[in-house]
Amino acid sequence: MWLWISLVLVLQYSKTVLSDSNYLIGMGSYDITGPAADVNMMGYANTEQIASGIHFRLRARSFIVAEPQGKRVVFVNLDACMASQLVTIKVLERLKARYGNLYTEQNVAISGIHTHAGPGGYLQYVVYIVTSLGFVRQSFDALVDGIEKSIVQAHENLQPGSIFVNKGELLDAGVNRSPSAYLNNPASERSKYTYNVDKEMTLLKFVDDQWGPVGSFNWFATHGTSMSRTNSLISGDNKGAAARFMEDWFEQNSAKSDELGTDEIPRRVSSIISSIHNNHHELLELASSFQSSPGKPATRVSSAARRVRSALRQADKPGFVSAFCQTNCGDVSPNVLGAFCIDTGVPCDFNHSTCGGKNELCYGRGPGYPDEFESTRIIGERQFNKAVDLFNTASEQLKGKVDYCHSYVDFSQLEVTIPKEGGASEVVKTCPAAMGFAFAAGTTDGPGAFDFKQGDDKGNPFWRLVRNLLKTPDKKQVECHSPKPILLDTGEMKQPYDWADWNHLTRGFL
Ligand SMILES: *[C@@H]1O[C@H](CO)[C@@H](O)[C@H](O)[C@H]1NC(C)=O
């Protein structure tokens, strides 16, 4: 019934400087891949999209920030289509059994990257599990176990450290997939923005006092739909790929700097060599043409004891965790080349995303078109490159107290104040959620079946009949949603149990 809004990780800016490392920070990461065969995939609501293997594995990545002797927050990013209230409840139960009241619904936020290529069936509301033919225990358990273990890891890794924030624009990893609908916004509002989608990436960088950088996460809006609705391999899509690229990048970089470390035994050069080389002079000249490296301070002594200690320390070193989180991606598509008709190859109808009046033929194209693996890699790499750039240049340190706030809001009867011309205002009320006919049209990232059209404000008699067999919306509900015609009155459907949690379904799918 209730949409929960969680604004965890409110790291308030303030003038008080605690110390260089003002927080305890801890990172964790654990596998959540789940069943890789015979399970419907979450996202496209396509009953025929059944998992049959793995493109790459999925992970839960956890970040804990605590004030010594003070409050703490947990943020978990899942390589999953979305978080689930039921999963969260179970995870909180497990955390309570381990840690008492340290981690509760108040200070634990779990988010999903919106990949459309992960196993489904782990949410409790009917709407989300229709195509998976109900609840899938294996999907659910893999998520709960993996999230719990990643939080435990982060908890056990807590060390003094500091956090830096950085922001920047990434222009080529997302486009508006409903540009005609966007034009329905008042010109005065549109003029406030440079683009018709949000292009900003915000990154947090975590630096351990002892080990240096240990992780980062960022928010950037683009759908997890580089992999198509016919793909059957489990994948973290572009954001899961970006996370892997960044973690690999960091490990490779630190491995390289370790090799050059002063602990290494210098290579001995045989004195025979100079005598067999007659071009000694030329080689010297060539060598002098290279710029010398700045080198490393020579204060550390190289001893066997130190090398052993160093190897042990290396084993303690926390793994680098990098998460690519989802944010306001509502209409942002990674299929940046635009939407085209698969029969003729011409761009789809601008206002309805149709081809010759047909919805099923219109598909968005990623930058690797026609190879969706390549599109996933490219969009992942673009986010990865931007994140590395922001990571390397992050200099603004977060200071102040850790706090969080969590509240339940009933979106089915919310009062909203709308400003009117001449300074006056009007108070209006929301109503229970409902899906319009246009919802079933899907989007250009994955068109729905059965001739539904985007931008439909009339509906169709056949589907209206089907709808009425399930639940006929009353006059009040119809008027409240007008001019959007109601296909499924999900907010008022309770049989055999609740169809919706209001969360996803209040978005305006007109
Ligand atoms: C889309 O709809 C608008 C408003 O009805 C109309 O002015 C415009 O010409 C249409 N564009 C196309 C390409 O059909």
* DSSP result, 207-236: EETTTEEEEEEEE----B-SS-TT--SB--
Q: What does the H/E/C string look like for 371-403?
A: CHHHHHHHHHHHHHHHHHHHHHHCCEECCCCEE
Point out the least confidently predicted range of 164-173, 187-196, 225-234, 433-442. Answer: 433-442
- CA–centroid distance, residue 349 to ligand 1 (Å): 9
- pLDDT band at residue 235 under the 50/70/90 scheme: very high
State the average pLDDT over residues 169-184: 96
- pLDDT band at residue 507 under the 50/70/90 scheme: very low
Per the structure block, which two tokens stand in for 60? 């839960």
- CA–centroid distance, residue 351 to ligand 1 (Å): 6
Point out the least confidently predicted range of 38-52, 73-87, 144-158, 456-470. Answer: 456-470
Residue 333 is a catalytic residue: yes
CA distance 436 to 454: 10
**pTM of this structure:** 0.82
Closest residue to atom 2 of ligand 1, CA basis: 351
Query: Which DSSP state fits 278?
Result: T
Q: Write out pLDDT tens, residues 192-230.
A: 999 999 999 999 999 999 999 999 999 999 999 999 999
CA distance 158 to 8: 18
Probe residue for ligand 1, chosen from 182, 349, 350, 351 as the CB with the greatest number of ligand atoms within 8 Å: 351
**Residue 351 CB–ligand 1 contact under 6 Å:** yes
Residue 190 confidence (pLDDT) above 70: yes
**Half-sphere exposure for 187 (CA within 13 Å, toward CB):** 0
Among the listed residues 139, 162, 333, 353, the single catalytic one is 333
Q: Which atom of ligand 1 lies nearest, measured to the CA of 180?
A: 1
- Which residue ranges make up the annotated binding site for Zn(2+)? 114, 223
Closest residue to atom 9 of ligand 1, CA basis: 351
236 exposure class (CB count in 10 Å sphere: 0-12, 13-18, 19+): buried
Residue 270 confidence (pLDDT) above 60: no
Q: Is 262 within 8 Å of 296 (Cβ atoms)? A: yes
CA distance 407 to 399: 25
> What sign does the CA torsion over 239, 243, 248, 253 have?
positive
Q: Tell me, what's the pLDDT at 462?
A: 66
CA distance 182 to 150: 39
Q: Which atom of ligand 1 lies nearest, measured to the CA of 350?
A: 13
Q: Tell me, what's the pLDDT at 487?
A: 84
- CA–centroid distance, residue 420 to ligand 1 (Å): 27
- CA–centroid distance, residue 233 to ligand 1 (Å): 38
Q: Tell me, what's the pLDDT at 509?
A: 27
